Amino acid sequence: MFESWGRYPKATQRVLPLAWRSDALPARSGPVLAVGQGRSYGDVCLNDGGTVLTTGRLDRFISFDEKSGVVRCEAGMTLADLISFALPRGFFVPVVPGTQLVSVGGAIANDIHGKNHGRAGTFGRHVRWLELLRSDGERKECVPGDPLFAATVAGLGLTGLITAAEIQLVPVSGPFIIEQRVPFRTLDEFFDIDAGSRDFEYTVAWIDAFSRDVRGIYYRGDHSQRPGRAAPGKRPLEVPADFPSFALSGPAVRAFNALVALEARLAKRQRETNVRSFFFPLDRIGRWNRIYGQRGFLQFQCVVPSRDHVRDLLGRVRISGQGSFLTVLKTFGDMPSPGLLSFPRPGITLALDFANRGPDTLRLLGELEEVVRAAGGALYPAKDATMSPRTFAASYPRLAEFERFVDPGFSSSFWRRVARA
Amino acid sequence: MKRVVVLGATSAIAQHVARLYAEQGASLFLAARNPERLAAVAADARARGATQVETAVLDLDDLRAHAGLFEAADAALGPPDVVLLAHGVLGSREAGPEEAPAILHTDLVSPTSLLLQAARRMEARRAGTLVAISSVAGDRGRAANPVYGAAKAGLTALLSALRQRLSPSGVSVLTVKPGFVDTPMTAHLPEMPFAVGPDRVARDILRALERGADVVYTPLIWRLVMLVVRLLPEKLFKKLSF
Ligand SMILES: Cc1cc2nc3c(=O)[nH]c(=O)nc-3n(C[C@H](O)[C@H](O)[C@H](O)COP(=O)(O)OP(=O)(O)OC[C@H]3O[C@@H](n4cnc5c(N)ncnc54)[C@H](O)[C@@H]3O)c2cc1C
Ligand SMILES: NC(=O)c1ccc[n+]([C@@H]2O[C@H](COP(=O)([O-])OP(=O)(O)OC[C@H]3O[C@@H](n4cnc5c(N)ncnc54)[C@H](OP(=O)(O)O)[C@@H]3O)[C@@H](O)[C@H]2O)c1
C-alpha cells in the first residue's frame, strides 16, 4: 500500500527504482509515473494499479559553473542536497517550497512556488534546460520556448520522465535571513501589511482559521548580507508510525493555533535566522504527516482573485467546525508562469488542511471548490485529492493544448480522475 | 590533497565514497565497465570539487588488464593514497554449479588479482591504504547466499593476510563489512533488517580510514549481530533458516 504526503488516497502500485540517467526505461506493463520524494499531498504522485518509477538515485550533479551559478543535475536530486551544495558556494535555490525534501523533478512537474512568488515567479522560470525520456525510448532536450518545455513544466509527470535539468541559482552572501513578524487581527489588516511589504523578497502569512476576524502573523524576510556557514542540519525527530490521531481533535488544533499566535506576539519582531528555519520549519519534525493517523488528511490550496473570496472561504470553514491545522495565506505576483498547467496566477492563495473525517470533510471541500470555481480561481493539483473534472477544465484553460503532449505510456491516479474521458 | 583510486566506481557505495572525497578536493581515478554510468559519476565528482578526475572503462573480470590499470592510475594522478575495491555481484540462494564460477570470479578472483597488484606497488613505495568492500555475509556461510558468502569469506581472509604482510611496510588494509545497504544490488530483496543508505556506509568508511581502523562493520550494530551469529554452535546453526 502506498500513500502520498496526505496519506489519502491510498494506492496499490508497483515500484521500480531508477538508478541511472543513461539507462532505458525498465521493462514494464501498464502505465508508469515518475515520482520524486512523494511530498505532494493528494494523488498526483500516485499511480494506482500501475507502476511508479522512483528517482531518488538520480541524484548526481552534471555540471556547475561557479561564476554564473548555473547548475545541471539529475532530476531526483533533492532541494535539500542542492541547497547544501549551493550555500557554501555563495548561491541559493531561486524558488523553494515549505519543505526542502522535494526533488528537482517534482519541483518542475508541479511548477512550485515559494514565498518570493512576487519577485521570482515559479520554479519553472529558473529552469534553463531539461531532458525528457519518453516511453517510446526517445530522449528530448527542451528549453524555454519549446512547446514540450511548456507542457513539461507543471506537466504533473505526464509528459514522460524528466531525467535532468539546468537551473539558474541566485547569488547570496550567506545562509542567513532577516525575518520580521507582524501580527494582524483582520483580513483587511493582512492586505494593508501585504501592500506595505513590496520591498521584501519573501512574504507569507499564517492565519488562525478559528479566529472570527482572521487573526494571524505576517512573516517577511530578506537574505542577510552577513556571510557565514550554516550549521549542519540536525537529524529531525520523527513522528512514530502509530501516532494516536486524537492529537488532532478540535480542541487540540484550536490550542495549537492559539499557542502559535501567542508565541509570535511575544517574540521579537525582527530577528536573524537561517534559511532552513525560515523556509522549512516543518522539516524539523520528520514524517509529521503521521499525526493525522491512518486516514490521513486533505489539503485544499486555491488561488482566488479577491479578498472577498478569501473571506467567503474562511467563513465557510469556520462554520463547518472542521479545524484547519495550518492555514497559509499569500498573494501571488503577476510574473507569468511558464507551464501550460501552472497553478500560480495573479490573486490570493489560501492553503488549508483538514483531518480526513470522511463524508463531512469531502462535503466541505466540495463546497469550497464551488466557491473557487465560481470565482474564476483554481485549485493546486499538488495538494488535491478531490477536485472534479469540471473544475479542473474550467480553471486550466490550456488543458486541451496540454493533452497533445501527454506521453501515452504515462499516467497517474490524478490524471485518470480529472481528465475528461 | 588525497589521490584515490576507485575500482567499481559505479557501485552505489563507491559513488558516495567518491562524492565525499570529491568534496574534500581529492584527485580521483575511477574505473568501471559501463561508460555512460562512469561518465555520470565522474561529472558529479568534478562538480563537487574534485581537483582532478580521470576514468578508465574496463570489465574488472578481465584479469589481464589489471596491471595496466594501476600503471594508468599512476600515470594520471601519481601514486594513490587510497585504493578502494567496490565491484561485486550478489548471486542468489539458487546459484548452482553453472553460475558459481562467474560469481566467484567477480567477487573473489578479480579482487584478489587487483589487491595483489596494488599491494605490490604500495609495498614497494612503503605507503598507501587498501580498502575492499567485503560483507558480513563472509563472516559465516548461510543458505541464503552460499556462493557470495564463500567469495566474501575468501576476500576477508585475503585482506587479513595482506594486512599482516604489509604492516611492516607501513601500508594499511581496511576490510569493510556492510550489513544490508539499500543499493541496486539489493533492490529486489523483500526484507532488509537494519538497512542503511550507501551514504551512511560511505561516511563510515571515511571515518574508519581516518582512524586507521583495520575492520569496520557498517552500521556498527552488525558487529554485535555477527558476533552472536559466529558464536552459535554448528549443531544449532544448521537448523536455523535466516
Ligand atoms: C510541508 C510541505 C510544504 C509545501 N510547500 C509548498 C509550497 O510552498 N509551494 C509549493 O508549490 N508546493 C509546496 N509543497 C508541495 C511540494 O512542493 C510539491 O508537491 C512537489 O512537487 C513535491 O516534490 P516531490 O519530489 O516530492 O514530487 P512527488 O510528490 O513525488 O511528485 C510530484 C509530481 O511530480 C512528478 N515528478 C516527480 N519527479 C519527476 C520526474 N523526474 N519526471 C517527471 N515527473 C516527475 C510526479 O509524477 C508528480 O506528478 C509542499 C509540500 C509539503 C509536504
Ligand atoms: N548492498 C549491500 O547490501 C551490500 C552488503 C554488503 C556488501 N556489499 C558489497 O558492496 C560492494 C558494492 O555494492 P553496492 O551495494 O554498491 O551495489 P551496486 O550499486 O549494485 O554495485 C555493484 C557494482 O559492481 C559493478 N560490477 C560488477 N561486476 C563488474 C565487473 N565485472 N567489472 C566492473 N564492475 C563490475 C557493477 O557495475 P555496473 O554498474 O556496470 O553493473 C556495479 O556498479 C559490493 O562488493 C557488494 O558485494 C553490498
Q: What is the C-alpha to C-alpha distance for residues B53 and B28, in angstroms, rounded to an integer?
A: 5
Q: How many beta-carbon pairs below 8 A join chains A and B?
A: 33
Closest-CA residue of chain B to A16: B187
Please list the alpha-helical segments (H only) found in B97-145.
Answer: 100-104, 110-125
**Strand ranges of the sheet holding A32-35, from the earlier edge strand across to the other edge:** A14-17, A51-54, A32-35
Q: What is the C-alpha to C-alpha distance for residues A140 and A72, in angstroms, rounded to an integer?
A: 16
State the cell numbers at A85.
551544495
Q: What is the pLDDT of residue A269?
A: 85
- Cβ neighbors of B114 (< 8 A, separation 6 or more) are B7, B60, B66, B69, B85
For A378, list phi and psi in degrees, rounded to 5: -150, 155
Q: Whose atoms come closest to the Cα of A162: which ligand?
A: 1
Q: What is the pLDDT of residue A57?
A: 98
Q: What is the pLDDT of residue A249?
A: 66
How many Cβ atoms from other residues are within 10 Å of residue A242's Cβ? Answer: 9
Q: What is the C-alpha to C-alpha distance for residues A92 and A356, in angstroms, rounded to an integer?
A: 36
Q: Which atom of ligand 2 is nearest to the CA of B8?
A: 34
Give the total residue count for chain A.
421
**Residues linked to residue A204 through DSSP beta bridges, in sequence order:** A219
**B41, B47, B184 ranked by CB distance to A63: nearest:** B47
Considering only the C-alpha atoms of chain A, give the largest distance between any 2 of them, rounded to a whole number of Å.
Answer: 59
Q: What is the C-alpha to C-alpha distance for residues A190 and A296, in angstroms, rounded to an integer?
A: 31
pTM over 0.95: yes
Q: Are A131 and A141 in contact (CB under 8 A)?
A: yes
DSSP string across A79-92: HHHHHHHHGGGTEE
Q: What is the C-alpha to C-alpha distance for residues B137 and B150, in angstroms, rounded to an integer?
A: 8
Q: What is the pLDDT of residue A5?
A: 94
Locate the domains of chain B by residue range. Answer: 3-237
- Minimum CA distance residue for ligand 1 atom 9: A97
- Cβ neighbors of B100 (< 8 A, separation 6 or more) are B91, B147
In CATH, the architecture of A176-387 is 2-Layer Sandwich (3.30)
- pLDDT 10s per residue in chain A (421 long)? 789 999 999 999 999 999 999 999 999 889 999 999 999 999 999 999 999 999 999 999 999 999 999 999 999 999 999 999 999 999 999 999 999 999 999 999 999 999 999 999 999 999 999 999 999 999 999 999 999 999 999 999 999 999 999 999 999 999 999 999 999 999 999 999 999 999 999 999 999 988 888 999 999 999 999 998 877 666 777 887 767 665 666 777 777 777 777 776 777 689 999 999 999 999 988 888 988 888 999 999 999 999 999 999 999 999 998 888 889 999 999 999 999 999 999 999 999 999 999 999 999 999 999 999 999 999 999 999 999 999 999 999 999 999 999 999 999 999 999 996 5
So what's the ipTM on this one? 0.96
Q: What is the C-alpha to C-alpha distance for residues B159 and B115, in angstroms, rounded to an integer?
A: 8
Q: Which atom of ligand 2 is nearest to the CA of A20?
A: 39
B224 CB-contact burial (10 Å; exposed 0-12 / middle 13-18 / buried 19+):
exposed
Q: What is the C-alpha to C-alpha distance for residues B179 and B194, in angstroms, rounded to an integer?
A: 7
Q: What is the pLDDT of residue A259?
A: 75
Task: Based on the residue annotation, tell me whether B21 is a catalytic residue of this protein.
Answer: no
> CB B40 to CB A62 under 8 A?
yes
CA A242 to centroid of chain Cα atoms? 26
**B44, B184, B187 ranked by CB distance to A60: nearest:** B44
Q: In this model, does residue B13 exceed pLDDT 70? A: yes
E strand or H helix that includes residue A258: helix A250-266
Q: Which residue matches cell numbers 567477487?
A: B107
Q: Are A108 and A75 in contact (CB under 8 A)?
A: yes
**For chain B, what percentages of helix, strand and coil (3-state, to nearest 5) are there?**
50, 15, 30
Q: Are A161 and A109 in contact (CB under 8 A)?
A: no
> CB A63 to CB B37 under 8 A?
no
Contacts with B, A 79-118, CB within 8 Å: 85
CA A102 to centroid of chain Cα atoms? 9
Q: Whose atoms come closest to the Cα of A59: which ligand?
A: 1
For A200, list phi and psi in degrees, rounded to 5: -90, 140
- Closest to B92 in 3D by CA, of B81, B82, B84, B103: B103
Q: Are A379 and A301 in contact (CB under 8 A)?
A: yes
Superfamily of domain B3-237: NAD(P)-binding Rossmann-like Domain (3.40.50.720)
Closest-CA residue of chain B to A70: B47
Give the total residue count for chain B.
242
Please list the alpha-helical segments (H only) found in A121-249.
Answer: 147-152, 187-195
Locate the domains of chain A by residue range. Answer: 176-387
Closest-CA residue of chain B to A58: B40
| Range in A235-244, A286-295, B3-12, B59-68 with the lowest mean pLDDT | A235-244
A138 CB-contact burial (10 Å; exposed 0-12 / middle 13-18 / buried 19+):
exposed
Q: What confidence tier does B201 reach under pLDDT thresholds 50, 70, 90?
A: very high
State the cell numbers at A102.
522535494
- Minimum CA distance residue for ligand 1 atom 44: A157
DSSP string across B69-109: HHHHHHHHHSS-SEEEE-------TT--TTTHHHHHIIIII
**A17, A20, A61 ranked by CB distance to B47: nearest:** A61
State the cell numbers at A417.
480522475
